[in-house]
Structure 1
């Protein structure tokens, strides 16, 4: 059945996106009881244990060899499982309820951030339609963050730091995603497991030093048990299922098609927040729709450009084949 990979890939990308969308409202509840640093570390500590078990069963102990690539693995692992986790959740916590939707919107900006990072590393500017899409997405993000109120700028100094933390975290995950290309000869599970293991080790060092100097409050056993259901969700769905589902879904659909499912992230977040009693303003809805529109618009023009290139290549092949020898 020709459509089976498409259906399977779509379901997998949907599971990942909905899980990530639900992640921020669930995290908001947990962060009322436990420090963001400990929350981030404990979450991926459990994910690491599960991933290590899966890698050992599937590929054996030989898959745990670092093959002299320790620095790269530590760097990419730190970007994803330390910078992303701690930056996003600390920023979300500092912003309060508004941080939940702000973090979700930043997640949707990942494809645009990826394009900008690639343009810097390859020294190749993106096409004009991408710049327009980025501008539209930024306007949408600004509407969500400010809720359409100029009063935001009066207290901007209080919000800039949390927003920068969330942004830095999102950039960290983009760097990690791009880093996968340096390990193309490794399985997705192996790259995910070893980077998660080393990134979580870095988080452990940060949490330990912070606790020793009393910069980070150590959660009590009661506090940790009070968020056991939220932690279980964060580990099993956004942490494990989403990571593996997304990678498998992207492989089945191609990044160009799979990335469209990221639009489900803020939609899921808004639905969950409304159930939690949060009053969503029209500006937050409009801003979310603008960001989604920008992503779909950019994707549409990318497809058009790829179609023109494919047609040009086909035309070139026909011209060559028509030359008499």
Structure 2
């Protein structure tokens, strides 16, 4: 049995790897996964690679850009997620659903997250709907603890928030960002090129196991998936975990296959450039190679 150490945030959105472990799909490839848990920050994930504590990094492509800036030559091994789970939500008492074209002039209260990519996906979605940030009124500055409470109190017209946090009786998900932004290489596995050749055969087995895990997720019921994930997320009640899994399925969060989709990479490059997260004229492929 070969061991692969993975740096990633401990999150249900990364269900493919946990479901694959639970279903024995990685064991079938003689692979044991070990998860280097951290707070999901850039330093926590990128730093783990730089310090040689892990074999793979799972997260946003921006982590790969950061790795490249620290002198590492990152290579994308596989894709896990193809969507952002961020949404625009309204109050449960709001009578009329907003449409993207109806956001012009609306005040959008922003629930803060840990990475800027969700906002980049939103601005990209807004752009695809024919609007710009100058045509809406972002409200920023509230803490994550206060943002939802202030929105429910009446601040803002719509709430920009991750979908998991919007799973409340007093909120209603109206506009998933992914429906407007389209599929994107949201979460990918990356390796330092110096480890690529020594581990190539192992990484190819990993890719096959992950692909089988993604197929398993598409073929199983929400209840079966939630039960498979439960040992990895004991802090969630069965009801809460079931609701999160159903939301992620509704959003089509997980990739269709482990193979990186280059058309998604191209569009995500456009979105990140639009959001100011990569330099004008640069592409993600300028920073990241693909296995």
Same fold (TM over 0.5): no
TM-score (norm 1): 0.30
Of structures 1 and 2, the larger Rg is shown by: 1
Larger proportion of strand: 2
Higher RCO (Cα < 8 Å, 6 or more apart): 1
TM-score (norm 2): 0.32
Larger proportion of helix: 1
